[in-house]
Amino acid sequence: MARTQVEVLLVGLIVFMIGFNIWHTTRESQPPSSAIPGPVAGQGGNLEPRAVPKATRAKHSPQRQQAITNPLATDDDDDSPRAQAQAQAARAKTQANKAPTEKLDPVLERLKHNPELHDMLNLGGDGYDVLFHEDSPTHKLWLWSEEPDKTRCFLRSQSNQALLERCLEQHDAIQTMYRDGAYFGFKDADGDSCLVVDPEDSLHFVPCKRGDKRQEWDVVPGKGLVSRVDGRCATQLPYVMHMKMKPCTDPVNQWILDVDLEFIPYDLEGWMKLFGTERTQLLKEAQAEVDAALARTSLDVPTPTSHRRIVVFYGEGGLGGFFVQLSWWIMAWQKLELDHASQRFDILVLGDKRLGNMLRAKFPFCEQKDIGPASEPPSDDAAGVCWFSEFIGASRREPKKYDGWTNSIECLVNPTIRPFLEKYSQLLRADADTFPTPRMRDFYREDVYFGTQAGYSTRYSRIKIERASTAAGLQHHSITNIGSTYYGPASVVLRVADLTLACGFFARAYLFSPGTPCKLPANLRPKTIKCGWTSEGLHEGVLLLYSQEMAVNHLYGIKQKLSFHQWTSMDVPTIEPHPVCRAYMLHVYHGAERFSKFRLSDGTYRDLDVTDYDLTIIRDYATWLALLAAGQGQNLDKPLAKLRRGFAHMCDGIPMQND
């Protein structure tokens, strides 16, 4: 009996466990009440109650009946505390899952600008902050350029580097950026990317994080793109697209602007005001230089201590073209026998040590000599000398004040050199790309001799030059197209050079300082402005000639000894087929027609056969001398053999025409 009872109990227990398991599985397979969609309060519901037999429905209380008709109700007794708590939790969860109301947006936006709360709330997701809300990008970071075809913009590379590349329409997708206050960058599929300074002081685009000072920038007029971390500027590196952070001392490579899609600066008015202030200050400084030069013209003319002549050149060793030109000049000086004692003609070369080494290697007779105020010319009966003296050009000493073209003028009137040159009787001011002709033998002047066929002047530029002269307090007598070569009494030549240098400083500030029309990109210029050589407008490349015109016109008005010759005898082009005996000085202008200094440099004349050349003709004369100096050409001895009187004396007995 006992065994039977135990078996019965075991069977009962097994049945109980099986039933419990079935009941539990069935309960778990049904969705929780909170997951069943139901009517929302205030909106009305139309769900029907579950089908329950009438007899069963009648046995429940009203509360239970309400629970049965409500899909959110549980199967537990509604009257229990547990059932009430579960129902309340379900309602709260439903409310919490609703989308945030738009009333919250302004609050969240304000919190973005509080770094502490922003970091706490982690707005925008992990790693990225959403900063840019415009529909499309409208900003470019542009390196200021005065030449519209050389504009360069920030570009985002595939490796997220920030580079400088040409501003092209096909680059818009990787150059046109968004801006949010101090942040510049792009919208990405998974967030925004901002410009940042990396540990190597390079620039990259990384996930935006508001409050990260490395991503914050200011565009400062007169400086560029300035980091808020340490006040340094984004700087273009020479000859590469990469940039580095450096102190804000290099405007040429740092002047970055925030511009729109038409390259108009967003703060154009601020930039123009800055330009105006800087130009006014420059003009004050330049006017002081002009006034000082004018005061020197009223001083007594120093009496020369010798009856010698001299030409002065300035150059640097790295300028290969200049050295070739200097070489043909020295060879012409020798071939024309200007170095003979009877001609009393000296050459002074000023420049760096490298140039001096090159000069002495090719012309050992060119002696190194430290020229100073106490230096003296050779005696009147001595042969011509070639001297070299180390000298640092004005454009290297004061690059903000002088450009490279003014070196050849400033070296004449520098306080170290001018006292020495005043001891000479005659001074020739000439560029190295000129040629003396046999007419320079025994040629002396009581006044300064100018040619007026330079061809740089246009109606538009003349008006601007005259206005600049008036602004500087100078006279202008409409003498124009004055050549860069002039020759005569050393004291008067030096006065011309002195005032030309001062006028150069003034004209540069008046006509070509930052913010003036020809220093603005084409899209920012007034419509009436003409700039560039091909437009017949102002051209900065001939600023030295503009400056010289201002000086010469004023000195002519105050009765300095100047003479002007419209016939071509000074600065005669080397392409002319006319007799060389019509000219004193030849000048190589830009162009490809023979003789061209560019074709000489690129090797076009390397194998040129000159057998049939006539050295009495200008273009053949210049070509022959240049080939001789450069070691190019074939049969150079043949043209020389044709001259009856010899090279130096080919013009003897021939009257000078048009003088």
Q: What is the full DSSP assignment across 240-309?
A: SS-EEEE-S--HHHH-EEEE-TTS-BTTHHHHHHHHHHHHHHHHHHHHHHHHHHHHHHTSPPPPPS---E
User: What is the per-residue pLDDT across 444-488, written as a single tens digit (0 to 9) for each?
Assistant: 999 999 999 888 999 999 999 999 999 999 999 999 999 999 999
Indicate the burial class of 122 (C-beta count within 10 angstroms; 0-12, 13-18, 19 or more).
exposed
pLDDT for the residue numbered 67: 40
Name the pLDDT band for 41 (thresholds 50, 70, 90): very low
pLDDT at residue 94 above 80?
no
Nearest residue to 255 (alpha-carbon basis) of 141, 399, 143: 143
SS (H, E, C) 306-321: CCCEEEEEEECCCCHH
pLDDT for the residue numbered 130: 75
pLDDT at residue 534 above 50?
yes
Distance (Å, rounded) from C-alpha 386 to C-alpha 323? 15
On average, the pLDDT of the chain sits at 84
**Does residue 439 lie in a domain region?**
no
CA 167 vs. chain centroid, Å, equals 13
Domain containing 173 equals: 140-266
Among 246-255, 297-306, 408-417, which range has the highest average pLDDT? 408-417
**Does residue 211 lie in a domain region?**
yes
pLDDT for the residue numbered 455: 86
User: What is the per-residue pLDDT across 325-374, written as a single tens digit (0 to 9) for each?
Assistant: 999 999 999 999 999 999 999 999 999 999 999 999 999 999 999 999 99
Q: What percent of the chain has pLDDT over 90?
A: 56
Q: Which of 215, 244, 266 is the last residue of a domain?
A: 266
Find tokens 């400033």 and name the residue.
410
pLDDT for the residue numbered 77: 47
**Does residue 415 lie in a domain region?**
no
Secondary structure (3-state) at 435: strand
- pLDDT mean over 178-183: 92
Tell me which long-range contacts 322-326 makes (C-beta under 8 A, separation of at least 24).
Answer: 322/432, 323/355, 323/358, 323/359, 324/597, 324/600, 324/601, 324/626, 324/629, 324/630, 325/432, 325/433, 325/588, 325/597, 326/359, 326/432
Domain CATH for 259: 2.80.10.50
- pLDDT mean over 109-134: 62
Distance (Å, rounded) from C-alpha 157 to C-alpha 58? 77
pLDDT for the residue numbered 100: 54
φ, ψ of residue 538 to 5 degrees: the values are -75, 140
pLDDT for the residue numbered 73: 39
Distance (Å, rounded) from C-alpha 500 to C-alpha 410? 9
Tokens found for residue 447: 């006044």
State the CB neighbour count (10 A cutoff) for residue 135: 5
pLDDT at residue 410 above 80?
yes
φ, ψ of residue 238 to 5 degrees: the values are -60, 130
Output 231 or 122, whichever has higher pLDDT.
231
pLDDT for the residue numbered 14: 63
Strand 585-587 relative to strand 572-573, pairing? parallel
Tokens found for residue 390: 């180390």
**Does residue 162 lie in a domain region?**
yes
pLDDT at residue 429 above 50?
yes
Q: Which of 246, 266, 286 is the last residue of a domain?
A: 266
Using alpha carbons only, what angle is made at residue 363 by residues 362 and 366, rounded to the nearest 5 degrees? 140
pLDDT for the residue numbered 78: 54
Please tell me the total count of domains within the chain. 2
- Looking at residue 523, its amino acid is N
Q: Which of 266, 292, 327 is the last residue of a domain?
A: 266
pLDDT for the residue numbered 314: 96
User: What is the per-residue pLDDT across 589-647, written as a single tens digit (0 to 9) for each?
Assistant: 988 899 999 999 989 999 999 999 999 999 999 999 999 999 999 999 999 999 988 99
User: What is the per-residue pLDDT across 537-566, written as a single tens digit (0 to 9) for each?
Assistant: 899 999 999 999 999 999 999 999 999 987
pTM for the predicted model, two decimal places: 0.73
pLDDT for the residue numbered 124: 45
**Does residue 634 lie in a domain region?**
yes
**Does residue 216 lie in a domain region?**
yes
Nearest residue to 647 (alpha-carbon basis) of 435, 341, 480: 435
pLDDT at residue 118 above 80?
no
Name the pLDDT band for 64 (thresholds 50, 70, 90): very low
**Does residue 600 lie in a domain region?**
yes
Least confident range from 159-173, 178-192, 523-537: namely: 523-537
Distance (Å, rounded) from C-alpha 326 to C-alpha 360? 12
pLDDT at residue 25 above 50?
yes
Nearest residue to 541 (alpha-carbon basis) of 549, 550, 532, 530: 532
Distance (Å, rounded) from C-alpha 516 to C-alpha 276? 9
**Does residue 188 lie in a domain region?**
yes
φ, ψ of residue 566 to 5 degrees: the values are -80, -25
Contacts of 104 (CB under 8 A, 6+ apart): none
pLDDT for the residue numbered 35: 41
CA 176 vs. chain centroid, Å, equals 20
Contacts of 562 (CB under 8 A, 6+ apart): 447, 448, 450, 492, 496, 552, 555, 556
